[in-house]
Homo-oligomer: A and B are copies of this chain.
Amino acid sequence: MATDSTPHANRKVTLADIAAGCDVSRATVSLVLRGSPLVNKLTRARVEEELRRQGYVYNRAAANLRRRTSSSIALVLNDLANPFFAEFATGVDEALGGGGYVTLLGSTGESVTREQAVLGSLLEHDPAGVILSPAEGSDAGQVLRTIGVRTPLLLFNRELAGKVSPDAPWDRLMLDNQRGARLATEHLIALGQKRIAFFGGHAASSSCQQRHAGYVEAMKAAGLRIEPHWRIECAPNRVDAAAQCGALFFESPAPTAAVCYNDAVALGLMLGLYQRGIQPGRDFAVTGFDDIAEAGLSAPPLTTLASTPRARGKQAAELLLQRLREPQAEPQRIVVPVQLVVRGSSCPPATA
């Protein structure tokens, strides 16, 4: 007893060790592990005791290999450091964990090259599916080629560039960007704003295009002019937004309000405005997009569009799990509505 009760310190405990330890076959131990009703109560008890005694831990990789299954999902995000995506990831992980899956994380830092590398590396671990929020400029053909057709893909937040024939063979979960930006713009117009800029984001990104389209839609519907220099591009982060702030005022007529690409940009813009002695929420109206946690805590608090990223994460995970259950179902494209949250950063024009 003393001999085998001290398993060799440098090897993991396996089924065979347990089997040897209580004198049954590996097959029986396997049945016990999986709670099969086939095995006798006494045997089960004996095996379970031995499992505990030796401190066995299941090797899911081996099981997955044999069963040709997978118990992981790859989650690839363009910017994990952005609180919006951090919340999203939390939601995904919670839901996946509930479904018995494990999250393989990859963040691409908005680089298409890294995205390819990360996808490639994660795919070698044979995930059951992929949730991807693509980097800006990420190409449909390329992504499809590295993911292959066998692994289901759920696209979040952005479309991929480039057409795929005949129809994108993946599911999509998108925010209603256009409607959201339209709501924000209409809200500013209702406050009496007339000279409204669209600030931030890159024109190449699909979500930016959609948000810009919503802005244009609202402006046109209200019969308002749009000056070309009211469209300022910048990277979707605070730093670049603050740096680009000045560009709004190079030419006249200068805008008195801005619909921003997202909250990060809006917060950066407000910072830039302060540095110019312009007080957002009084001298200049600003709206954001996403309603990240700090949106309610900035000064002034930010008027923005709420998209409840954690719930989106949960939803994304559930959509993918559903797809795994029914691989043959029609690809879905879900557009979730966003909600306007009015706070202090939107105001009537100062000179009105």
Contact = CB atoms under 8 A, between A and B. Distances in A.
A138 B94 CA distance: 19
Interface in A75-130: 75, 80-83, 85-87, 89-90, 93-94, 97, 100, 102-107, 109, 117-118, 121-126
Interface string A1-30: 000000000001000000000000000000
Interface stretch (A196-204, A212-220, A292-300): A292-300
Interface string A293-318: 11011111000000000100000000
A117 B93 CA distance: 13
Given A238-B297, A297-B271, A105 B89 contact: yes
Given A97-B118, A298-B297, A102 B81 contact: no
A155 interface: no
Given A57-B123, A61-B125, A267-B294, A90 B94 contact: no
A62 B61 CA distance: 8
Nearest to A57: B123
B97 A121 contact: yes
A331 interface: no
A58 B123 CA distance: 8
A107 B93 contact: yes
A40 interface: no
Contact of A297 (B60, B105, B267): B267
Interface in A122-162: 122-126, 148, 150
Given A57-B148, A123-B57, A297-B267, A105 B83 contact: no
Contacts of A102: 104-106, 121-122, 125
A55 interface: yes
Contact of A124 (B58, B80, B294): B58
A221 interface: no
A267 B294 CA distance: 9
A126 B58 CA distance: 9
Nearest to A146: B57
Contacts of A43: none
A104 B106 contact: no
Contact of A83 (B86, B107, B296, B310): B86
Contact of A59 (B12, B126, B271): B126
A265 B107 CA distance: 28
Interface in A266-299: 267-268, 270-271, 293-294, 296-299
Contacts of A123: 57
B81 A86 contact: yes
A206 interface: no
A104 B107 contact: no
A314 to B, nearest CB: 13
Contact of A60 (B100, B118, B125): B125
3 shortest interchain CB distances as A-B pairs: A299-B299, A86-B86, A294-B294
17 contacts: A59-B124, A59-B126, A60-B126, A61-B64, A62-B65, A72-B104, A72-B125, A81-B90, A89-B107, A90-B109, A102-B125, A103-B104, A104-B105, A105-B105, A238-B297, A268-B297, A298-B299
